[in-house]
Amino acid sequence: MLKLEARPQPSPAWTYGSPLLALLVTVLIGVLLFVALGKDPVAGLRVFFWDPIKSPYALGELTVKATPLLLIALGLAVCFRSNVWNIGAEGQYVLGAIAASGVALMADKGSSSWIVLPVLLAGVLGGMFWAGITAWLRDRFNANEILVSLMLVYVAVMLLSFIVSGPWKDPQGYNFPQSRTFDAATRIPRLFAGSRVSIGIFIALAGVACVWVFLFRTRAGFAQQVGGLAPAAARYAGFSSRRALWVALLVSGGMAGLAGALEVAGPIGQLTPYVPAGYGFAAIIVAYVGRLHPVGMVLSAVLMSMFYIGGELAQSRLGMPRSLTGVFQGLLLFTLLACDTLVNYRLRWAK
Amino acid sequence: MESYALLIAATLNAGTVLALASLGLLINEKAGIVNLGAEGMMLCAAIAGFAAVVHTGSDLLGFAAGIGAGALLALIFGALVIWLNTNQYATGLAVSLFGAGFSAFVGVGYVQQKMPERLQFEIPWLTDIPLIGPALFRQHPLVYLTVLLALALIWFLYRTRAGLVLRSVGESPESAHALGYPVRRIRLLAVVAGGALCGLSGAYISIVYTPLWVEGMVAGKGWIALALTTFATWRPARVLLGAYLFGGVTMLQFHLQGDGVEVPSQFLTMLPYLATIVVLALISRNPQWIRINMPASIGKPFYPGA
């Protein structure tokens, strides 16, 4: 029988090899799925792994989708490393989008383009506020953060729905539940003509650097992770677990809110009920596949963005449901968790 | 007055969805396993059940398909968590994310489909009692079976040897192992049983509760069911009561809208989620109270000899 044997130390090779193996297994299952459905698997592989990178425009779109995923995942990595289970990033993202829209809607023809800064700041604060509710309920009432943060996603989506069909509804919008289009001044500056890539990607990459420094080069970041790995040791060292909880949730809420702000003031350009696109949940997978490491998450955010674009292309070109994206995302997390066993255990045949 | 009878009837109906799933999750947690995948299992079971009814015309086969789908996903979850020692929270999340994606993928062709004529159930004689009749005796048989199930679970957990073994596995897997019980096999059985009940609940949603298929139609009921086990401090009878309470909160919004209460519908839709948060905070406020009642090894992996 196949047996697991604990390794004395986690295997460094498998730490990095496991996401690749997981991707390989997911692709294999994907190919089998295409064959089973009578679709050409080569065409399937192409829409997922070649078409999203084959032209400058496609690369731009890949970046546009990878940016929010990366930002949210960076915050979640801080959370998960602190053993705080924030799975409601989607709600924090929505609140960031709502708060940013509140500022963006104040702009008019005469506004300077510096208004982008308050727009983004509002997004950060909105996300922090929403995550702060979870932190407060956990801190003050000991309420499970997994369930609270997730319930708040539903509340945030309903709040968004109310706002766009009530107070901020565009009077000239043919009765669609959406806000008016934001003034051009609030648009996040774009990098090139003919592509939707904005300075958001630089903000996200700066976030990578900041999170790396915070986690691996500051005392606060160290305290955060000790609390996650060994709560008793952290207590003994005098690291406050309450502080770790608040830091983790406020950082991840702020990052998710920032992603929401960049999205409404960037590619979307108005507040609509379609703002929540599942990035908050997909970012959980990005964080895990990227090993909760800032650099690893750059790669996994790009990969997840490929899944999104591949799903859209599979719908338009191969006539497959767009939800294919969700299937592959879920499969990837499953296979990753299974492959991660190899990091800590060796497989042995034993009688 | 008639409208109150209907409100009670609707409450029992909505409560049944939550009760079935939450009793399943209770079995898991009594054995020490938290399955955050309830939402995903219920979604897959909802589409499996719906598709089975559309193709075969038999509600019973629909429920069986739902149970099968829930149990199958739970089996995958259990194999990963129990044999490969993966993190329970992360694996449960994977089930939820995969379940949401997979059910949407499979369900695309079923969105506009209709099921055969739905049967009306009523208990002869009793249904003619004014008020009480329409409130209590015109329900789907599963509503009554759920109450029996809760009673059976109480009996099983607290009056049988097998139930004692199950609880010991959740309290102290090391002791159970030392006594020679196959801890991991017992945990897997509990996980699969829990998944089957979540599956039954999911199928009940798409076959009886709102007889149609829409992407994401479980709408957080799996997560509310998870919260319910904590509210109930892991007691089956309280799970049942809590489920009806939350069923009532869910249904209250329609009642209020019918009464012409001037609140935007979105705020009424928020009610069950807000109520979950509030009650969770109130119950968890006293850590001792939780610690006394919670299975001691909940969420902790067990690997013999490690």
Nearest CA in chain B to A338: B80
Residue B303 lies in a domain: no
For residue B98, what pLDDT is reported? 95
Is B1 a residue whose pLDDT tops 70?
no
Q: What is the mean pLDDT of residues A296-313?
A: 95
**Which of B:108-147 have CB within 8 Å of A?**
108
pLDDT in tens, A82-136: 999 999 999 999 999 999 999 999 988 888 889 999 999 999 999 999 999 999 9
Instruction: Tell me the ipTM for this assembly.
Output: 0.93
Q: Enumerate the H helices of A105-144 as residue ranges.
A: 116-141
For residue B213, what pLDDT is reported? 95
Residue B79 lies in a domain: yes
Confidence of residue B286 (pLDDT cuts 50, 70, 90): confident
Residue B71 lies in a domain: yes
Nearest-Å Rg of the Cα atoms of chain A is 21
Q: What is the mean pLDDT of residues A265-279?
A: 93
Q: Does B84 touch chain A (CB under 8 A)?
A: yes
Residues of B with CB below 8 A from A165's CB? 266
**Which of B:28-57 have CB within 8 Å of A?**
36, 40
Residue B65 lies in a domain: yes
Mutant choice from A80, A90, A155, A347 vs B, greatest count of B C-beta within 10 A: A155
Distance in angstroms (rounded) separating the CA atoms of residues B246 and B257: 18
Look at chain B and report how many structural domains it folds into: 1
Is A274 a residue whose pLDDT tops 60?
yes
Residues of A with CB below 8 A from B287's CB? 142
Q: Between chains, do A146 and B89 touch, taking CB under 8 Å as contact? A: yes
Residue B300 lies in a domain: no
pTM: predicted TM-score of the whole model, two decimal places: 0.94
Residue B133 lies in a domain: yes
For residue B247, what pLDDT is reported? 93
Residues of A with CB below 8 A from B269's CB? 158
Return the percentage of chain A with pLDDT > 90, whole number.
75
Residue B299 lies in a domain: no
Q: What is the mean pLDDT of residues B108-121?
A: 83
Confidence of residue B136 (pLDDT cuts 50, 70, 90): confident
Is B222 a residue whose pLDDT tops 70?
yes
Residue B233 lies in a domain: yes
Mutant choice from B270, B279, B282 vs A, greatest count of A C-beta within 10 A: B270
Q: What is the mean pLDDT of residues B205-216?
A: 93
Higher-pLDDT residue of B120, B163: B163
Residues of the domain holding B22: 2-118+129-293
Provide the pairing of β-strand A2-6 with A345-349.
Answer: antiparallel
pLDDT in tens, A54-78: 999 999 999 999 999 999 999 999 9
Q: Which CATH number characterizes residue B233's domain?
A: 1.10.3470.10
For residue B116, what pLDDT is reported? 81
Q: Between chains, do B273 and A155 touch, taking CB under 8 Å as contact? A: yes
Nearest CA in chain A to B84: A341
At residue A278, the 3 state secondary structure works out as coil
**Pair of tokens at residue A161:** 């729905």
CA distances from A163 to A60, A93, A152, A160, A166 (A): 31, 15, 16, 5, 5
Q: Can you say how many angstroms the Cα of residue B250 is from the centroid of all Cα atoms in its chain?
A: 15
For residue B6, what pLDDT is reported? 85
Return the percentage of chain B with pLDDT > 90, whole number.
71
For residue A351, what pLDDT is reported? 62
Distance in angstroms (rounded) separating the CA atoms of residues B279 and B260: 27
**Rounded to the nearest 10 degrees, how much is the dihedral formed by the CA atoms of A35, A40, A46, A49?**
-10
Q: What is the mean pLDDT of residues A250-275?
A: 95
Distance in angstroms (rounded) separating the CA atoms of residues A247 and A221: 10
Q: Nearest CA of chain B to the CA of A39: how many Å? A: 15
Q: Between chains, do A158 and B267 touch, taking CB under 8 Å as contact? A: yes
Is B306 a residue whose pLDDT tops 70?
no
Distance in angstroms (rounded) separating the CA atoms of residues B26 and B31: 9
Confidence of residue B59 (pLDDT cuts 50, 70, 90): very high
Residues of B with CB below 8 A from A139's CB? none
